[in-house]
Structure 1
């Protein structure tokens, strides 16, 4: 019976369509626009139906329509998703018709209340329809086509909502900027755009094998003073948290979170669906339905869908909004709209996608983000040029910023003024002062133009060797040159009364910037300082104020003199190769004692090494934030791999150790839809040669810029050593999936976190001080207890469980050592409190 009813609906839709086509001949066009009554914004996809003869049409992305009718007056019915139905009499004598639509904000809520407590999936026509949408999803989504291409225009905006007069106090010369308030886009909102980016791209997609390419050939954006603001990082962050969206995706990624799509494969487990209306127009017969979360606290949407009843069950329109009860911070309003249009073959293609989110507290909005994507010029199937898929999937052509952006939707007067205002703003001294102060607080550097001093947190620290330590450092900026880079510091310890220093320089080899990808440069480093055993040369090596007050701060040191020369080359597919040579001369200082394992009367006071290394790194589709040569990978679903081989060059420069090292590492973030996300890190390695344990693997020694680093928070410094090892780290943030199901507790928006870290290693007989006479004894405390251990058959494990998002910013974790609990100075458990601010 269900199939019979669907066939009847299809035949009815076909009859209406044929009837409409039969009366078009020899008729006069009526043209006009459909707009929002309050905001005056055009409404794309609105349907206009002539009640008398059932002629219908729909509006384009600019709200325009043309209806073919015989001469005379007609009563028309106008429908738009999210608006009240409009009935109006129009005449063919009118040359330009404007139809004003009233917002229908409360319709969905009213329907939801009517069905609350009585909803069932079984025998629910809306659920049956959703099952058909899901069944046909693969053939309807763009990524499911054998091949296609299209033009994509993107406009991304970020700014303030209803800026208060306090922003103008003492800044009278900046009043011009605060006067550019857009009052037309949203009711009761005055929007002040402070960042805007536009781009045009050619997009190619292929199904088998699956390939995707977005070639950005035109781009324009606002830019702030680069001395204080890294415009690339703003662009990268906003494009990360507001990625291109499609209702056909299983989960819609926005604000660093995954919201389950209402047409996801398991959508009916989390959503309720209701049929609202039927719609007829020249494109066919559509059913409009509403959906809402079963649990409003989960990361879900509420809204409406229009589904085509031509047998494709494709989505024509979608309106999605974030529920105010959802477990997400700082979001007061979140709306996503999608509009699809049929091509000549009757295939629904994404026409526009729009996302608007306002952020703030319960008292009101503070900032907003807005993204519009318009797709045009579809080719299906597409003729794809040879080599189109080479390189990164999203590629910015070198001449992109030199080409004027072409816009399928014209900028408003407020948007046009934004570019001019930002340029004028950058020339105001009061604004430069504000940026400088903000840069000092946020980054810890004081900018002097071509050079900047910092970081501020490294100015003072304390340790058991130097006592009070004073450090002055800095680095060059791109105002000096972007073809070379320098950083360094001078430090002085009050107790040991010694001067320490560091200098690093990188010079481009390809005539391009040394800081942007892909780079090709040579760098050199020299450092004289006290270092933790096992630590490599680094500018930010751990001597910060905050590190010096940690409970498990280092107490064992080498007085180190180091030199390093490296060559770095990066390729377009995010494969990089680093080769280099490093010399380190280390002398024991303070509490560190290295006693010869064959002669207890002999102390080893020097450990000198020469190393040549090759490091191969592959980070497919990587995006990152950068400042000078420091990069931080934006964690997406793509993995990062490293393979590093190191060989000693003994026999000169006072070195005698012969060894080889090999390490392999991989890291990946897994997005688990409604179960949040999990980070997995895995590292393994082996060391060949006879070495003191300070040159072996010690898992709790932090290394610079280590993407695969695992924080063993319950492990002491130098507690374990191995020459064969495996490290594993796992952390899972459930984003409130469990707490959201507990009455009363779910109103607190708490989130679950848990994780586990493992280290397993072995030590060969040649490096075991209990067997070999050619190495050094393990470290001991003042009571003679051995502090460095060899793992036996069991690996070291520690686990954690905690609650995140307490009061929207606190994280509390219970951390416990699960194995090796009886070792000297081994802490068994700890409660860790930290600040974690997130959406």
Structure 2
């Protein structure tokens, strides 16, 4: 997940949790609920204080801890599935209650128990799971020729047990922290900060396979959009809590891939035990328990309920993550799936519940929950195939305005606590103290200071230093939605104390579809004007690499050009996540400082300017893409789907003093590969070719940052600025994160929950004779450094440049340490062969 987006979310939660809280005198009552016949504890029994919303439920052994603000005496309503409800009077504080419930014999007809024995690889449970795996293809509901149904999703996120240490600091925010849920999680108080409900129409067909989810109504809490991007919160939580499909090979959750207990190779990783056989109204079921062979792997524990009608279908599942697994900031994951058979005995999902408790090893801090109800199934629907056009999941433009439909059609009603969340968040947005907290959090997380219709920043660009400008002071900012959502303007003024020159940039963006320029699908026109100094090869942009952190890098640039740039750009996005960008760019470049453009002819002379005009077309396809955004900046949420780019540039000679005619084609593809228990790997491949006779600053230099799709960026850590150049090239990067697969198997070390990383980067390029200054007389000589060494080189025709790295991640759950080594071309002047890098890295 995006590190910045995670930090923003955690910053908001931290600010809320430490600045305010609830302080009311409380009663704590503990006890055990047991079966009056067997004396065994009853798991998940419910205890509620009559006449209030206070309550809790039992753990797996029947134990409970009830926290309530009600005063003695109390009346407790105790209930459990399969037992008669009981009313218990509590007149005084007692050490421990013991409550015996009477069995309701009408609920379960028959139960047969199979004794659990020492595990063997060949046993009836394994034979049964092989039958489930063998028949799962025929049991998948998606194999129905056509179907449609209604879907209701409820997504919640909030604090667990808000601290009682800050009672006096609550002030005007007390009303928000009074609205806690004491029923859902035994012994905990849950304070919901974010909640979203949505209703959707879902369509599916089998030949050819197609799926469509059309979201028709959304109701959610919205914070002040000057400081909080509500879309990003929803996108992030939806990414963590994706739909669970037990019949898939893997279950994707919180950025991790857990092997399904009925995957084809599941018996290699899981142990299975037959627990019970149960006769229910849906027929006889076998209850099958399962657990990992190695609990440190990304596997699950739990139980499956399997039909005995010859189909061996999963009727229900309860899944839990193991505490020994290599997970960060996650204390508990619980998944419950409920299926029902249709007339053809295909199992269809009617409800799924996913609950996650986040925090440290000792305490829960925040929680997340997703509840899904599927209903009104139609197994022989009549709908046109036109319904499948566009993206698989489509949010109708009227969904937000049609939020009343959620209230009218939700299949289950909200609890009183949930009902108050929407109104409480609206009141919170109007609270001055809360707005101040958000402004401070926004400045720390985003680096921008909000000032109504504009915001100033980023903070890290306020000061930097380089060898031309000396101390560089920059004042920059951009407009917000308070100014306009159809017009967005960003720009800066910068001044160097050493060169005494003023630099500037301004870029307005105009919506062409009457919608916001930031949201998807966008359609806008953009104009940009920029005067600044650039290192050779860099393109224009609001963030051009002059941040404070870039200026202290060991391989920071030392050669510069004084440049004037103008751009006119048009972008249109389509619903299938295809976009087309077309631009016209005018660039005037002049060498400054000790950079020189000396012609390579027989009579060398200093070329004062390099002027270009070009048209550019970029075709991008990102199937099923989800992303975080702030204004025009987007960061793709990395899933298994690839991202493709195809770019064409044409140089216009003679127009507006353009000196060069050329053609250039560039293509890129990036993809994440999920490798089951071996973690995941990210791969990026790009290549291109430039036709024409051009000075080397206009060719491909691999270590120069370009304002391109962030999914295709490749940063060569050990390569010097301007070190290599090519007009025909391939770049490749690969990084594999094993998620502790090896280190989790080593005694003692596995307790540290360390994670392995390795990867490599490659650049292979060729320079044609027409652009080689050692051969051609029509280009520019490569420049030299202060020691007289030539700075730019041509790669050997048969040997690509390589650098590799190995590392350990998750040190103290915060740090990543990497060793990076340059693998060849180490004989060139002033190059470093290796280095260590320590970075902050937060991940689940």
TM-score band by shorter chain is 0.7 to 0.9
Distance 1:566 1:236, change over 3 A: same
Judge conservation of contact 1:182–1:414 (CA < 8 Å) in 2.
yes
Q: What SS does structure 2 have at the residue aligned with 1:240? A: helix
Distance 1:277 1:90, change over 3 A: closer
Please, which of 797, 817, 821 is the counterpart of residue 816 of structure 1? 821
Q: Does 2:97 match 1:88? A: no
Distance 1:280 1:757, change over 3 A: same
Judge conservation of contact 1:227–1:479 (CA < 8 Å) in 2.
yes
Q: Does 2:836 match 1:831? A: yes
Q: Displacement, 1:777? A: 1.1
Please, which of 504, 515, 519 is the counterpart of residue 522 of structure 2? 519
Show the counterpart of 1:303.
Answer: 302
Please, which of 696, 720, 728 is the counterpart of residue 716 of structure 1? 720
Q: Displacement, 1:41? A: 8.4
Deviations 1:644-701 (A, max 9, x none): 1111111133321111111111111111221111111111111111111110000110
Q: Displacement, 1:814? A: 1.2
Judge conservation of contact 1:460–1:470 (CA < 8 Å) in 2.
yes
- Structure 1 residue runs of 5 or longer lacking an equivalent are 1-33, 44-61, 68-83, 92-96, 100-106
Q: Does 2:739 match 1:735? A: yes
Q: Does 2:491 match 1:488? A: yes
Q: Displacement, 1:168? A: 5.0
- For 1:570-719, what aligned pairs fall within 5 Å after superposition? 570-599=573-602, 601-707=604-710, 708-719=712-723
Aligned length: 752
| Inter-partner Cα distance in structure 2 for 1:392 and 1:346 | 31
TM-score, reference length from structure 1? 0.87
Please, which of 797, 803, 827 is the counterpart of residue 798 of structure 1? 803
| Inter-partner Cα distance in structure 1 for 2:806 and 2:815 | 14
Q: Does 2:482 match 1:479? A: yes
Judge conservation of contact 1:337–1:354 (CA < 8 Å) in 2.
yes
Q: What SS does structure 2 have at the residue aligned with 1:719? A: coil
| Inter-partner Cα distance in structure 2 for 1:66 and 1:308 | 25
Judge conservation of contact 1:168–1:175 (CA < 8 Å) in 2.
no
Judge conservation of contact 1:492–1:499 (CA < 8 Å) in 2.
yes
Q: What SS does structure 1 have at the residue aligned with 2:182? A: coil
| Inter-partner Cα distance in structure 2 for 1:224 and 1:484 | 22
Show the counterpart of 2:278.
Answer: 279
Q: Displacement, 1:146? A: 2.8
Q: Does 2:544 match 1:541? A: yes
Q: Displacement, 1:565? A: 0.4
| Inter-partner Cα distance in structure 2 for 1:551 and 1:668 | 30
- For 1:56-455, what aligned pairs fall within 5 Å after superposition? 88=103, 118-122=118-122, 124-166=123-165, 169-403=168-402, 404=404, 405=406, 406-455=409-458
Distance 1:415 1:206, change over 3 A: same
Distance 1:360 1:804, change over 3 A: same
Q: Displacement, 1:247? A: 1.6
Q: Does 2:765 match 1:766? A: no
Judge conservation of contact 1:35–1:41 (CA < 8 Å) in 2.
no
| Inter-partner Cα distance in structure 1 for 2:401 and 2:47 | 38
Q: Displacement, 1:171? A: 3.5
TM-score, reference length from structure 2? 0.86
Greater alpha carbon shift after TM alignment, 452-461 vs 340-349: 340-349
Judge conservation of contact 1:739–1:746 (CA < 8 Å) in 2.
yes
| Inter-partner Cα distance in structure 2 for 1:282 and 1:647 | 71
Show the counterpart of 1:59.
Answer: none
Judge conservation of contact 1:273–1:292 (CA < 8 Å) in 2.
yes
Show the counterpart of 1:20.
Answer: none
| Inter-partner Cα distance in structure 2 for 1:713 and 1:205 | 47
Q: Displacement, 1:35? A: 7.5
| Inter-partner Cα distance in structure 1 for 2:531 and 2:350 | 60
Q: What SS does structure 2 have at the residue aligned with 1:789? A: coil
Judge conservation of contact 2:355–2:368 (CA < 8 Å) in 1.
yes
| Inter-partner Cα distance in structure 2 for 1:63 and 1:337 | 17
Distance 1:390 1:85, change over 3 A: farther
Distance 1:554 1:289, change over 3 A: same
Judge conservation of contact 1:204–1:212 (CA < 8 Å) in 2.
yes
Q: What SS does structure 2 have at the residue aligned with 1:126? A: helix
Q: Does 2:556 match 1:557? A: no
| Inter-partner Cα distance in structure 2 for 1:748 and 1:38 | 39
- RMSD, aligned CA: 2.3
Please, which of 24, 31, 46 is the counterpart of residue 37 of structure 1? 46
Q: Displacement, 1:64? A: 8.9
Deviations 1:195-234 (A, max 9, x none): 0000111111222222111001111000000000000000
| Inter-partner Cα distance in structure 2 for 1:42 and 1:192 | 17
Judge conservation of contact 2:684–2:733 (CA < 8 Å) in 1.
yes
Judge conservation of contact 2:719–2:831 (CA < 8 Å) in 1.
yes
- Structure 2 residue runs of 5 or longer lacking an equivalent are 1-42, 49-54, 59-78, 85-98
Please, which of 768, 776, 781 is the counterpart of residue 780 of structure 2? 776
